[in-house]
Structure 1
Amino acid sequence: MSPSIPARRGLGAWARVLVPAVAAVLVLAGCGSATPSTPGAGAAAAQADFPVSVKHAHGTTTIKQKPKRIVAVSWMSLDVVAALGTVPVGVDEQWGGDKDGYDPWFRSAVEKLGGPLPETLNYGNAGEIDFEQILSLRPDLIVGLYSGISDVDYKRLSEIAPTIPYLKKPWDGGTWQEMTRTIGTAMGESRKAEALVSDVQARLAGVVREHPEFTGKTFTYGVALTPGATEVGLYLDYDARVRLLTELGFTNTPSMGAIAGTAKGTNWYGGVSLEKLDTIKADVFVAWANGPKEVEYSLKDPVFSRWKPIAGKHYAFVQDEALGMATSGPSVLSIPWALERYVPMLADAVAGKGATGADS
């Protein structure tokens, strides 16, 4: 269900263009509405009384009582559930996770809650949901805001438990703030959700104050090249990792229209040929890479290496898998974890020091 690095389940190979993660997450433009409180209503949002209803792309889901057994079938959703005080009973295995498939910020949150760690979900070769496994977990709520849950999947999942899929379109769960508030509404934890959002926003604002050099710098986010590549994958403006950079003070490339024009269907990325790369304007290039070989190959490519942000060493390649996940699928748990690792790389990129993420 959830996307994975380098590709989301069920998508073509070149869709290495990940992955978060990460619009919200994140990401993304969409907002759940709820009764009696509405996600995003501000600090005064009241703690929800049940039942509550959440509108989404497949209709409206009503949760009759506070959920205790929650299955998260997508990125970021599991982080929000844990941050709001409940350990999910089932989650997607996380790219960049430890040997058990859990990212460090999620494992830490679960340990603080007293565990146990949740069961990881199974998928078929084409990304099919294992409905029997989910049924066996006896959930009373299923959340998949950053997912590609189809209408058929939604109907089957809803037969098991109230289900909240993406809010507007596949792989578009709303911003990390909207996701937190939406899940907070569903869990009856609107006040706690608002407090979490405020805390993380304050941390991001602190980075902007401490790094005024970020403000106004244009950027584009993409992926490292692989042997034989003839184009560079670049993410659209609603993608989670793109939105995170704008929250850190950067300005999205003025060439986004050209990038978006190459996107196909519901893809969250476009592809620009190497020969036309100089038409993409950006002060800084940020990307994820599957290890140092991809970074080395990219920097040695005779065309790519002449592109202005690469030639001037205004680039940051994220190689560390956990950091890649944290910034591709930003959440109220992963953002604080990521900042101390990500911000120095971005500072080096702005300064023309060429951050390769080797020590991240």
Structure 2
Amino acid sequence: MKQALVVALSALLLAACGSGGGNTESTTTGVTVDTRFGPVTIDKPPTRVVALGWSDAETALALGVRPVGASDWLAFGGKGVGPWAEGLYQEAPKLLGTTEIDYEAVAALQPDLILNTRSDNDEKKHETLSRIAPTIAAPKDVIPYGTTWRQQVESVAKALGKVAEGGKIIADLDAKFAANKNFDGRTTVVGAHFDGKFGAYVSGDARTDFMKAIGFTPREDVEALASGTFYVDISAERLDLLDADLTVLFPIGGDASALRANPLVNEKALILEDKNLVNAFSSGSSLGMAYALDHAVPLFTAAMGR
């Protein structure tokens, strides 16, 4: 089966050599992007970008580049992006898998650049993707799925020849975070309920990093439970670990009303019900973060005043 995959990829790559067209407008050549697997050089402006990593598609769109293929990490369907990115595609991309990569489907899109900046950091996957096209992985020393929105913008912008545009995105979002930094000295825990179990996000995850950026401090004893991961399980016997000045909870694949009715949940916890808001908060993209600042922070303020 492995040999068949190699043969199929080879055939698709040969076809790609003669292909043209695309829908990006990158403006530089000969750039090198440093990644955890070494430097990646892009010799000419990419015209067919495939975005596989979590929020890579949204990041490319924010930079004015429309991927021809994208992984639908948050199960939006359609174009695979949240409402905060609606209208940025003129034509829907080919939606691809997430944790299990269909290499033949990727190669069939004839990409000249693959974005995989926020992923499980699997080196074998990276090597296979790199045989299809130059592949931008996470920066060095980043835990799985731990690439920050800033690192993602920087890496993707450089790869696409959009450094100036990336700098503006970062400056604008930094200013927006600064304008909402109203929670200094308050503790927080961001948790989720999935398949009957509770857990909490820690530093290195977009949700907790978002809270830190507006002044909150994560609980140290929750942070201490993590070991190179972005999420820790919390047993039913230790749900007290979810208590903080502001506890933010949301269900994954479940119903918010059931979570609210759960007697184990602190009645003061803020339970996010709006799926779009939960996904924006979870996206870790510059577009999603801006949306969450507009829509989640007022809820945080109201909850703190209860």
Instruction: Please give the alpha-carbon distance, in whole angstroms, between the structure 1 residues aligned to 2:119 and 2:147.
Output: 11
Q: How many residues align?
A: 280
Instruction: Map 1:1-360 to 2 at 5 A.
Output: 50-95=29-74, 97-99=76-78, 101-110=80-89, 115-122=90-97, 127-167=99-139, 168-169=141-142, 171-208=144-181, 212=182, 214-224=183-193, 227=196, 229=197, 232-260=198-226, 266-278=228-240, 282-290=244-252, 294-302=255-263, 304-305=264-265, 310-311=266-267, 313=268, 315-352=269-306
Which amino acid in 1 is paired with 2:91?
Answer: P
Offset at residue 173 of structure 1 (A): 4.7
The residue type paired with residue 166 of structure 1 is: A
**1:199 corresponds to which letter in structure 2?**
D
1:129: Cα distance to partner?
1.2
Aligned residue type for 1:187: L
The TM-score, its normalising length taken from structure 2, stands at 0.82
1:285-334 residue CA offsets vs partner (Å, 9 max, x unmatched): 1122147x7444444444x34xxxx24x2x22222222222111222212
What is the identity, as a one-letter code, of the residue corresponding to 2:300?
Answer: L
Partner SS for 1:271? strand
Report if aligned partners of 1:259, 1:272 keep a CA contact under 8 Å in 2.
no
Is this contact kept in 2: 1:146–1:165, CA < 8 A? yes
Quick one: distance in 2 between partners of 1:337 and 1:96? 18
Cα deviation, residue 68, structure 1: 1.7
TM-score scaled to structure 1, two decimals? 0.71
**Bigger Cα displacement from structure 2, 236-245 vs 276-285:** 276-285
Root-mean-square deviation (Å): 2.4
**Shift in Å at residue 178 of structure 1?**
1.5
- What is the distance in 2 between the residues matched to 1:251 and 1:338? 18
Q: Secondary structure at the match of 1:259?
A: coil
Residue 7 of structure 1 aligns with which residue? Answer: none
CA distance in 2, matches of 1:247, 1:350: 17
Asked if structure 1 preserves the Cα contact closer than 8 Å seen for 2:79 and 2:92, the reply is: no
Q: Which runs of 5+ in 2 are unaligned?
A: 1-25
Summarize the Cα distance change of 1:149–1:254 in structure 2 as closer, same or farther, 3 Å threshold. closer
d(CA) in 2 for partners of 1:276 and 1:172? 26
Q: CA deviation at 1:49?
A: 5.0
Unaligned stretches of 5+ residues in structure 1: 1-46, 353-360
Instruction: Kindly provide the amino acid, as one letter, of the partner of residue 241 in structure 1.
Output: R
**Structure 2 letter corresponding to 1:204:** F
Q: Secondary structure at the match of 1:55?
A: strand
Q: Name the SS of the counterpart of 1:75 in structure 2.
A: coil
Counterparts of 1:172 and 1:48, CA distance in 2: 29
SS at match of 1:288: strand
Letter aligned with residue 43 of structure 2? K
Tell me the distance in 1 between the aligned counterparts of 2:242 and 2:272. Answer: 21
Distance 1:224 1:172, change over 3 A: closer
* Change in 2 beyond 3 A, CA 1:344/1:96: farther
More contact order relative to length (CA 8 Å, sep ≥ 6): 1
**1:326-355 Cα distance to aligned partner (Å, 9 max, x none):** 111222212222222211221122112xxx
SS of match in other structure, 1:325:
helix
Structure 1 runs (4+) deviating above 4 angstroms are none
CA positional deviation for 1:70? 0.7
Shift of the 279–332 alpha-carbon distance from structure 1 to 2, 3 Å rule, reads: closer
Task: Say which SS state the counterpart of residue 224 (structure 1) adopts.
Answer: strand
- Equivalent position SS for 1:102: coil
Distance (whole Å) between structure 2 residues aligned to residue 119 and residue 107 of structure 1: 16
